[in-house]
Amino acid sequence: MEIQIREGNREQKRKLRVCAYCRVSTDADEQENSLENQIRHYETVIKATPSYEYAGVYSDFAISGFKEKRPGLQKMLADAQKGKIDLILTKSVSRFARNTSIVLEATRKLKELNVGVFFELQNINTLSGEGELMLTILAAFAQAESESGSAGAKMVYQRKYEAGIPVQYLERSFGYTKDERGVYIADESEAVWVRKIYEMAADGYTPAAIKRYLNENGVKTVGGTKWSDSTVFRLIENEIYKGDYIMHKHFVNEERKLVRNRGEVDAWYIEDDHEAIVSPELWQKAQDAIEAKRDYLAEGSVIEDFTEENYPYMNRIFCAKCGHPLYRRIYSNGNRLNWGCSGTKRHGKSFCEGINIPDGVLRKAWHFDGNMYIDEKPSVKGTKEFTYLKESSWKRRHKKKVPEAIPENTEEAYPYRKKIFCGLCGSRLVRHVNPKSHKVIWICNGAKRKGVAFCRGTRIPDSVIRGWGEIKKDIYIQRKDDKNGKKRYSYTSKKPTA
Ligand SMILES: [Zn+2]
Ligand SMILES: [Zn+2]
């Protein structure tokens, strides 16, 4: 179990006071979930972690069919209030409480006290950045549950709606506050930003560019955090901002997962439910712009066999910055295909800044016969602009970049060449040039000539040795990887024995 600890301003040295919360219900699998087992489990985990101080296990026993009283949870919240707890471990959201709104309410309250809740199954600490997103999702979850809670819920809503009783929003949304009846009313200090967000989106800015704009202007989300691509995106696609409300936008499926309702259950679309912040026209414009961008990027993302038939451009595309061919880059577990500069891949960023073009963009633009040199420029709107140049016109102005020539193996070019030795066997290190990358490395001559049985061999990039500065005496070099598996090199003037 790995737990990210929040950056708090409390003193860092003190151990975290960690408790656990567990809840069993009569319908749970008895063996695995017995209360004693859970308590023992948490006690062991907490006591075995050096940075933790054991602050107890709180528990509740729920009997299905009865209203939950949860004295354990109440006690834990009270102790948190008193400052006795820093972190709470718990199994999962659904284990925390049967009703998600209870989870939400409790975690929010705890967050205000700077007490984190770590959900093992979701691997999320509510005090982390992801935790904020999780709380947003939890809120939607809770709303869905409250809307589908009982069989008669729909009727209740219908009656309420017809009687003009407003929807009860569990959540505050950015741009809105609630009046005493719980109806959304615009909060002008935030509403101005909502309008700006829609205007930017309609104007073709990407969520990433909008996020940057908001963060640069110090605007904070409802949760008081910085904006992310997804918080911007969620805001834009939320119909709440044009005054409408979809009841049952999400629902909780049999696996108790919150899913977007795509017609599986009845949804109600309520128009003019509350005050709008943006006009329906602007709202729609923003949707169209975002949707178009998404389609564009998603196109061609079903990755097919790499044949010229499927990808007619595959052997005809080159980087206009360095002239090297583009190669395929696959992202997102094989769901996304881009084409990138092979010059950058081979010789590094200092050789070529590189380009990276989504397959969908290239596919749409491709109507050429011959070789094309592609360049990209970032635009302020957060998108990239790609230009396509015919081979003949590219070659008139540019030359294919070649990596710098490797100097001859002389004393002049490598003043240390006779002073470097293998730290394992004491053999001289000799120069080796990687034919592909054109990189110089120094390798153990003993291992090279007599094989690994003689010496496991030392290999060290020339750049590392250069970084050490002038070498006066003979040195014996060894590679010692650090804890994170990063390559580290060290040297000594002592000759290895044996
Ligand atoms: Zn390039
Ligand atoms: Zn050696």
Ligand 1 centroid to residue 317 C-alpha, Å: 11
In the reported structure, the alpha carbon of residue 475 is separated from the centroid of ligand 2 by a whole-number distance in angstroms of 13
Taking the CA of 450 as reference, the closest ligand is 2
The span from the CA of 252 to the CA of 145, in Å, is: 7
The two three-digit tokens of residue 49, written as one number: 């972690």
With a cut of 90, say whether residue 263 has pLDDT above it.
no
Rounded to whole angstroms, the Cα distance separating 498 from 476 reads 14
The rounded Å distance from CA 458 to ligand 2 centre is: 6
**Mean pLDDT estimate for the chain:** 81
pLDDT tens for each residue of 222-231? 888 899 888 8
Kindly give the distance from the C-alpha atom of residue 405 to the centroid of ligand 2, in angstroms, as a whole number.
28
Question: What pLDDT is recorded for position 4?
Answer: 37
Are the CB atoms for 429 and 491 separated by under 8 Å?
no
Beta bridge partners of 495: none
Give the DSSP letter of residue 9. S
Tell me how far the alpha carbon of residue 419 lies from the centroid of ligand 2, in angstroms: 14
**Which ligand is the nearest neighbour of the Cα of 449?**
2
- The hierarchical CATH code for the domain 16-127 is 3.40.50.1390
Question: Where is pLDDT greater, at 223 or 53?
Answer: 53
Q: Is the pLDDT of residue 326 over 60?
A: yes
* In the chain, domain spans: 16-127, 164-298, 317-397, 420-492
More confident residue, 170 or 121: 121
Please report which ligand is nearest the Cα atom of 339. 1
Dihedral, CA of residue 334, residue 340, residue 342 and residue 348, to nearest 10: -100
What distance in Å separates the CA atoms of residue 328 and residue 363, rounded to the nearest whole number? 13
Q: How far is the CA of 462 from the centre of ligand 2 (A)?
A: 17
Interval between CA 324 and ligand 1 midpoint (Å): 6
CB crowding 241-272: b at 16 or more within 10 Å, else e:
bbbbbebbbbbbeeeeebeebeeebeeeebee
Does the pLDDT value for residue 431 go beyond 60?
yes
Tokens of 220: 């904070």
Ligand in nearest proximity to the CA of 420: 2
Which ligand has the shortest distance to the CA of 341?
Answer: 1
Q: Which CATH number applies to 164-298?
A: 3.90.1750.20
Domains 16-127 and 164-298 share a fold: no
Contact yes or no for 101/170 (Cβ under 8 A): yes
Q: Say how many Å lie between the CA of residue 190 and the centre of ligand 1.
A: 44
Cα dihedral 254/256/261/267 (nearest 10): 80
Q: Per-residue pLDDT for 168 more than 80?
A: no
Q: Which ligand is nearest to the CA of 447?
A: 2
pLDDT band at 240 (very low <50, low <70, confident <90, very high): confident
150 pLDDT tier (thresholds 50, 70, 90): very low
For 127-149, the pLDDT digits (tens) are 776 666 666 666 666 666 555 54
What residues have a C-beta under 5 A from ligand 1, the ion? 319, 321-322, 341, 343, 352
**374 alpha carbon – ligand 1 mean position (Å):** 9
Greater confidence (68 vs 35) lies with 35
**Residues paired with residue 373 on neighbouring β-strands, in sequence order:** 318, 389
Encode pLDDT of 4-39 as tens digits: 333 333 334 578 899 999 877 655 555 445 777 788
Please answer whether residues 250 and 256 qualify as being in contact, where contact means their C-beta atoms are separated by less than 8 angstroms: no
What is the reported pLDDT for 485? 74
Q: For 110-128, what is each residue's pLDDT tens digit?
A: 988 889 998 887 667 887 7
Ligand nearest to the CA of residue 448, numbered in listed order: 2
On the question of pLDDT at 328 being above 90, the answer is yes
